[in-house]
Structure 1
């Protein structure tokens, strides 16, 4: 088991939903957290205040990680604050769901930039520091949609599938350094994104899940903790947290 006390983690899209749950879980285990947000400043500031009230340590950094310059700024801020970087959680993501006939260039490019290109930008900036860590971890939050597809989600599915391919290839390259690279593929999780789905559609989705319920953000967070703490010999893998919906 790796001792996480004093380690430093950057969590993109860390102010709300799954990202916030990951941030809380790591902070509870002694990790100094750098919460990245783009527009959710209030939520990120409240999260950091909560973490500090509970004896943890962290900062919130605004950056649009869909651009290389902003991703570089985020990683630089983390290293300037704490002098090291051990864990990168690529969680930033958006949806612009449309059937392919209605999908615009903007819908495509925005989702690819935020969900996939950001993974390259943040990882490229963070890697020189993570490879110096005795517990380097890169964890990419992909999706069941990247594995099984989703109606009206060609852009989102392509981005999330791309994250999986990225994870496998980088894991091969970094295995000799001791840095592990893994993807977590959540199923349908109770977040603001799922709350926007009409009730009748939610019930149809739930009926297809063997566990007969939606997942919770803290269940994804515990998966991240497991990979950080106990995942020394786990790399290039997809951790499927989906109630049995995709096997």
Structure 2
């Protein structure tokens, strides 16, 4: 028995049309899963789904929805169930950041980041719960951040949202253990994506400071998320729930 085999499993990846979301989606597809790319940008999601299908041969579906809006979440989940008849895996990866000193953040800035990064994970998890419970179990993986552990002077709302992701993960894990639904979090370190490229442009010296602390000596690529994603989505992690796993090249362990 291959504990990492995801054949016949259906996985939703929110924000799966780019960056680490796309890296995780490709990893799940390579392990045999059918993959749903869920995002707000329809052309980008369609292109990502087509690229995954071409590269892996997996069944894919692009669904357009704003996961911070309850009605759109419910519609998206219904669309997936209508297409695949099941949902086994959910990756809550959608997220944004507004980089400002905390004294310059407006309430609208704060609410926008918390809603997209944290509330959406609650809404989407709640929406898939009935299908997973009916199927006899499932896997939910919430994407946190190194700022779930460390503070950030230029991303107070983002850090708060990602700290909340860890506590939401633990709470859902406890609530749904009896339904055989494992809920875990991944805490990505510094990945080379569009978001961090913007950060390096906005924050002088960030690239050098980060690189000096990464034990592996390099920024991560989206493909570096695939292995941990497959593990937490598979039977190999059936006795793992309520944990937050750093994927950071040793960043959190380096003085």
Shorter-chain TM range is over 0.9
Partner of 1:76: 78
Q: How many positions carry a matched residue from both structures?
A: 246
The normalised TM-score by structure 2 is: 0.92
Out of 145, 156, 166, which is 1:143 matched to? 145
Return the alpha-carbon distance in structure 2 between the equivalents of residues 159 and 201 of structure 1. 21
Structure 1 residue 4 corresponds to structure 2 residue 19: no
The alpha-carbon deviation at position 2 of structure 1 amounts to 5.3
The normalised TM-score by structure 1 is: 0.95
Cα-to-partner distance string for 1:82-127 (whole Å, 9 max, x where unaligned): 1110001000000011111100111101100100000111011100
Return the alpha-carbon distance in structure 2 between the equivalents of residues 56 and 66 of structure 1. 28
Partner of 1:102: 104
Out of 105, 113, 116, which is 1:114 matched to? 116
Write out the 4+ residue segments of structure 1 that deviate beyond 3 Å after TM superposition: none
Gaps of 5+ in 1: none
RMSD (Å) for aligned C-alpha atoms: 1.4
Q: Could you tell me whether the CA contact under 8 Å between 2:4 and 2:231 is conserved in 1?
A: no
Out of 159, 168, 173, which is 2:161 matched to? 159
Q: Structure 2 matches for 1:45-56, cutoff 5 A?
A: 45-53=46-54, 54-56=56-58
Return the alpha-carbon distance in structure 1 between the equivalents of residues 32 and 137 of structure 2. 14
Q: Could you tell me whether the CA contact under 8 Å between 1:146 and 1:156 is conserved in 2?
A: no
Return the alpha-carbon distance in structure 1 between the equivalents of residues 205 and 175 of structure 2. 45
Cα-to-partner distance string for 1:112-146 (whole Å, 9 max, x where unaligned): 01000001110111000112335510000100111
Q: Structure 1 residues 44-53 or 54-63, which shifts more?
A: 44-53
Q: Structure 2 matches for 1:121-140, cutoff 5 A?
A: 121-140=123-142
